[in-house]
Every structure is written in structure tokens, then in C-alpha cells.
Structure 1
Amino acid sequence: MQNVQEDWTGGRIGETKRRESSNCSDDGEKGEPAGRDGEEWDRETLMMELTRMVQRVVRESSWWERRGMDCSILAAAFVCLPPAFLLLSSSQILAFSAGMLLMGVAHAVITVKGTHLSSHGALSESPAWGRFWAVFFIEICGSFSARAGIQGHIKMHHAHTNVIGLGDSSVWKLPFLPRTIYLFIAPLAVPIITPLVALAQLRGHPLAHIMRTIVMITLGLYSQYWLLINVSGFKSPCGALLCMVLCRAMLSVPYIHVNIFQHVGLPMFSPTRRPKRIYQMTHGVLNLPRNPLLDWTFGHSLINCHVEHHLFPFLSDNMCLKVKPVVSKYLSEKQLPYQEDSYLSRLNLFFHKYQELMVLAPPITELVGVQ
């Protein structure tokens, strides 16, 4: 994970950016190398110019803005778990339902927002702590392999966004399913499918890694089961397991929707003829509008700042929101697309063009483990 992390606060930029900026002088002026086509060079310098603008905003931001806000939201989700377990012990239907709702929302915050931020190393400036949080959120809380999740998300999805056969996939393509089942029923099976897929992803990995992942996933699942039995007072193991599945599946339908809405159906690129990064991300990524529930549970970088997230993937959710006006204004000035659409509009599009967008979509070769 350390070898792909970009430190925006300290000015250390990842290997790709270093290659792009190798021809810039120390004072920031752009020097065109000999033999480089002028138009192509201009396209490269657009990303470097936007990067400097975003870095300036990040450097001027406090720790609370860079990481503290998102860490507090995750901490609040964990604080909600004890009252949720206690409410689930109630025999009153309203209290029990409140416990289910509280646990379902808290689980979504931890397993979607937490796993996503930790996969990018956005929760800590320390690489060691970054690796720890990745294992904690992705494996213990999310029941998936941290190594496979980071490989699929960082090195495939972000590096090859909407490139046919590489980063064009969502985690959820089942073209043999009818559209209604695919969009509204099948996502409820995500909590069951996720650990099974995680085990399948372990093939070929070192034995120590396989054992650690199995232990961490088992620890996370058994911890919730044990608390439901011993704190919430479930008498039946089947009842506790059913409660686990229902809580974990509570927001899986919008999660899958978001997963496909923001990339599928947008321009796709050939592996051998892809555009420069800023063109690839502005054409192949879409923002959804602000949504109070999804903003706080999934995070801004997955909802209304997905364009910003793909341009600057190691910024936290709150920092993506803060740099959003800078990015949108810059892209508008440079006459680059800044794609936005409503949740209902995208749902209507996928429902009526399901055959075209999902069934007949280009084949994928890599599974994106964390979207």
C-alpha cells in the first residue's frame, strides 16, 4: 500500500505525477520538451496545474479538515454499536426496529466509508497505521481481503478507469439476471457473497497472508454473532445470523446502484489508446448530487465528489468536498466535462437500458473489490 500512496499535504506526489512533472522547472514554470506535440503537452500540463491548485488548498487546511472530520464520523459509527446491540435485546417492536436501523447505518459507514478511505490510506499519514487500518476495516469489518481489495481498487479501477477489460468493471455484473432482480433484489445477497469472493481471491497468495485474512474475516463475523447472542439475547443461532445479514444488507441496494451509476454507460477507452489522465477521469466519472444519508454513510468521494476523488484519490472525503469548487471551476474554464446526474435519472437510465449497459457491456478481466 505504501508504494502507491500520495502525500498531498507534504507535496510528495506519486510516481505517475513525478514522471509527468519531471520537465517542470523548480519555480513551477512548464517547459515543453523537444519533440513533444504542443497539444499533447498542453493536456499534460492541465493536470499538473490543477494538482498545484489542489495541493495549495490541502496545505492551507487543518488536520481536522484533512482527516479529523472523517475519522470522527467513523468513530461515531462505532459509538452507535453498543446502543444498537442493547436495543436489539428489546421485546418492543419499535425499539428492536430502531436497533436494526442503527446497526445497519453504522455498519454501512464502517464497511463502505471506512474500507474505501483505508484502501487509499486516507485515514493516517503514517504508512504503518495506513496498513493497520486497511486490514481492520477491509478484513475485520468488511469481510474482504485487504490485499485483493487494494490491488483491485487502487491498481486496477483507479489506474485504468473505464479502460475496456481492465478498470471498466463494477463489483456487480451479473448479466444473466433480469433487470428488476439485478437492481433491487440480488444486492441483498452482498453480505453473503462478499466473504465467499474474498476466499476465492486468496488463491495463489502466500500462506501467511491467507491465514491472516481468514482469521481476520472470521474474527469480524464471529464478534458480531457473539454480541448478538450474549448482549442482544438472541436465543436462536439462526435468528442471530438472520439479523446479521439483514443489518449488513440494509444499504446494499444503493451501494450497488452507486457502484454502477458513476462509471457504467460513460465513455470507455481502449487499453492501447487511452487519453491523458485528466481527460480519462473527466469523461469516465460522474458525480451524484448531495444526499444526506449517502453522503454520511458512503462518503462524499463515492457520491457527490467522485470526479474529485478519481483525479485526487488519496484525499479524504471531507477534503474532496473542500476542493470540489476549485476542481469544478477549473474544468469549466478549460472546457472539460464535469459530469453530474441525479440518482433517479441514473436509475431510470439503467432500468430502461439494462440490456445495453449491463448485459452487452464489454467483458471484464479483473474484479474490483472495493468501489
Structure 2
Amino acid sequence: MQKVTEEWTEMEERRTSGTSAAGKKEQKEECETLMMELNRLVQKTVRDSSWWDRRGLDCTILASAFISLPTAFLLLSSSHVCYFLLGLVLMGVAHAVITVKGTHLASHGALTESSAWGRFWVVFFIEVCGSFTANVSVKSHVKMHHAHTNVIGLGDSSTWKVPFLPRSVYLFIAPLVVPIITPLVAMGQLKGQPLYTAVRTVVCVCVGVCSQYVLLRCVSGFTCSSALLVMLLSRGMFSIPYIHINIFQHIGLPMFSPNRRPKRIYQMSHGVLNLSRNRLLDWIFGHSLINCHVEHHLFPSLSDNMCLKVKPIVSQFLKSKALPYQEDGYFSRLRLFFHKYQELMVFAPPITELVGVQ
């Protein structure tokens, strides 16, 4: 990680060495012009797109996840092993769609144009469904991570860095306890929050957790311990890839000093990486977290489907301007992190702010 940071610093020093004040001003204006030019191209595509493309498709996917839940509860009540497993998988998929894709889109206001409904969906998805506190989540993710992507000490990487854990434990075992840790971390983040916010968060988190527990007891017919076990399994079903995408798309890429950071288009093109298309994860987590992460960081208010739609425009533009458009496969990144765990995770610059979903 230190090597990556040094490489970027050296590159900047070579680029700016011998450059006059006028030359630096010209470079700054060039960066701003590039971002404005790309923004015009993307916004034209957004304006020409239908409501279905802008929001409808993603809202339908989220609605489908909610609609599938009654079937999941009923299947879990079956004594037939195949039906039971199908119900468990269905509940796990629905939970991941709602708590990852839903919370991410809601935090960026990508579900609706109404500010009032936007605030409602933030609380609903993040606190009721995701068992976390909305205010902290939006501040840390939108205002810190997106504003300071890969800036050391600010928005540099993932919440879920535990460098004292061995690599195999961190990558494949520790993520399974995320469903337990998340509400505990949420309660810890309430310190210093207004009383109304703290009470609302506690009530919403309890409503979300207790409603699933009660339905498993009353509809699926589980005992207390069995209901808790099913809750853990369904909520943790996709926690391993969830942790992976948190670290794959930023860590190991160039990082910037708070005092020597490039303009937005350079920061995002150098510090963000897209994972290759993966139909399962694209659908469950959303394109903006998987194969359109560069587009998402450049235009965070776009929905998953719109990020996918503008992807050819963004990639072609960056390449035409000799800027990096970084892409890699999921398993390629997994091999990299497994073999370079010490360099990328243990000796990485420290985190001072909570980041969350990337």
C-alpha cells in the first residue's frame, strides 16, 4: 500500500516538476473541463432515458425482493428438505437485495426525486431493514467515502478491516458474523447523536429484527433457537462477497494525501475499480457496487441501471483522454488479496472514518 502511495506521489511530482503557476492553473482548468464535458454527455443520456431506465427497473427488483418474502416464510415451514432450503435461499437473496442494493440506492437518493420520500427510504432501508443508523451511514458513505475516495485517513477503504486476523479467517470466516456485529456497531454509533435520532434508530432496528423473528416463529413455526439460527443464516448468506467488494474496488489502488489530491475525474479514475460482470452479484448488490463502480463514483446519484447505461460513454471517454479505466475479475482480486494480504490489509494506511458499503 505504501508503495502504491509513493508511486502516485512520484508520478505527480514528475508531472508537476518545473511547472509554473500558470501551468498548474491550466492543468486544473483542463481537469475541470474534462469533468464538465463528461457530465454533459452523461446528463444528456439521463434526460433522454425513460423513468423505467432511471428508476423503474431497480425499484421493481427491490419490490420483487419484498414480494418474495411471504413465499420464503411459507417454504421454511415445510418439513421437506428441498422446500426448506429453497425458502432459506429465497430469504437470503431477498435480504441481500434489500439491505445492500436498497440501502445503497436510498443513501444516494437514487430511488425517488422527492426529498421527503428520499428521507423516508433512507430510514426504512438503512435502519429498519439494514439494522444500522441512517445518519451515520449517509455521513460516512456519501460525505466521507465519496468526497474523499482513497484519501489517506478519510475515505481510504472499508469499515471492515481487521488487520490482526489471519487472511483466511478475515476473507472467509469473519464475514459470517457481520449480521451480529452490524446492530452492535449501530448502537455504538449513537453516542453524540440527538436524542430523537437515537430513539428512532433503536426503535427501527428493533422493529426490523423482531418482525423477522416473530414471523419465523408464527408463520414458519420455528422454536426460539431455530428462528435465531435461520435469521443468522439468511442475513449472513452473502456477507462474504459483501466484505470482498468492500475491499476489492479501492484498496491496492493509488491513494492520495489530503494536501495533494487530484481533481475529481483523476481521483476517481485512478482510485476506483470495476469488477467484471457477475449476473448474480450484479442483480443482488447492484451494478453500481460491482461492474459500474467507476461510473457510480463519478455520478453517485444515478441508479444501478443508469450506471450500466452510461458505462460505455464513461469508459470510452476516459480511454480517449488517456485516463485509466480500471477493471478486474472477482476471483482475480480475491487471489491478489489472498497472496498480498499483509501488504494490502495489515500495513495499509489507518482508517479514521467509518465508510461502510463502497
Give the TM-score band, short-chain normalised. Answer: over 0.9
Distance 1:233 1:184 in 2: 31
| 1:274-307 deviation per Cα after TM superposition (whole angstroms, max 9, x unaligned) | 0000000000000001111000000000000000
Question: Amino acid of the residue matched to residue 321 of structure 1?
Answer: L
| 1:247-292 deviation per Cα after TM superposition (whole angstroms, max 9, x unaligned) | 0000000011011000000000000100000000000000001111
Distance 2:28 2:83 in 1: 61
Partner of 1:211: 199
Offset at residue 57 of structure 1 (A)? 0.3
Instruction: Give the conservation status (yes or no) of the 8 Å contact 1:148–1:369.
Output: no
The runs of 5 or more residues in structure 1 that have no matched partner are 1-33
Partner of 1:196: 184
Offset at residue 238 of structure 1 (A)? 1.1
The runs of 5 or more residues in structure 2 that have no matched partner are 1-21
Question: Amino acid of the residue matched to residue 201 of structure 1?
Answer: Q
Partner of 1:27: none
State which of 171, 175, 196 in structure 1 corresponds to 2:163: 175
Distance 1:290 1:44 in 2: 30
Question: Amino acid of the residue matched to residue 239 of structure 1?
Answer: S
Higher relative CO (CA 8 A, sep ≥ 6), structure 1 or 2?
A: 2
Give aligned-pair identity as a percent: 73
Is residue 341 of structure 2 the alignment partner of residue 323 of structure 1? no
Partner of 2:175: 187
| 1:311-353 deviation per Cα after TM superposition (whole angstroms, max 9, x unaligned) | 0000000000000000000001000000000011100000000
Distance 2:267 2:176 in 1: 32
Partner of 1:288: 275
Partner of 1:161: 149
Partner of 2:343: 356
State which of 102, 108, 113 in structure 1 corresponds to 2:96: 108
Offset at residue 370 of structure 1 (A)? 3.3
Partner of 2:130: 142
Distance 1:330 1:185 in 2: 40
Offset at residue 38 of structure 1 (A)? 1.5
Question: Amino acid of the residue matched to residue 158 of structure 1?
Answer: H
Is residue 74 of structure 2 the alignment partner of residue 86 of structure 1? yes
Instruction: Give the conservation status (yes or no) of the 8 Å contact 2:190–2:198.
Output: yes
Is residue 31 of structure 2 the alignment partner of residue 37 of structure 1? no
TM-score by length of 1: 0.90
Instruction: Give the conservation status (yes or no) of the 8 Å contact 2:96–2:285.
Output: yes
Instruction: Give the conservation status (yes or no) of the 8 Å contact 2:288–2:304.
Output: yes
The alignment covers a number of residue pairs equal to: 337
Distance 2:192 2:159 in 1: 21
Partner of 2:49: 61
Instruction: Give the conservation status (yes or no) of the 8 Å contact 1:195–1:217.
Output: yes
State which of 226, 245, 269 in structure 1 corresponds to 2:214: 226
Instruction: Give the conservation status (yes or no) of the 8 Å contact 1:67–1:123.
Output: yes
Distance 2:26 2:238 in 1: 48
Offset at residue 369 of structure 1 (A)? 3.1
Instruction: Give the conservation status (yes or no) of the 8 Å contact 1:285–1:339.
Output: yes
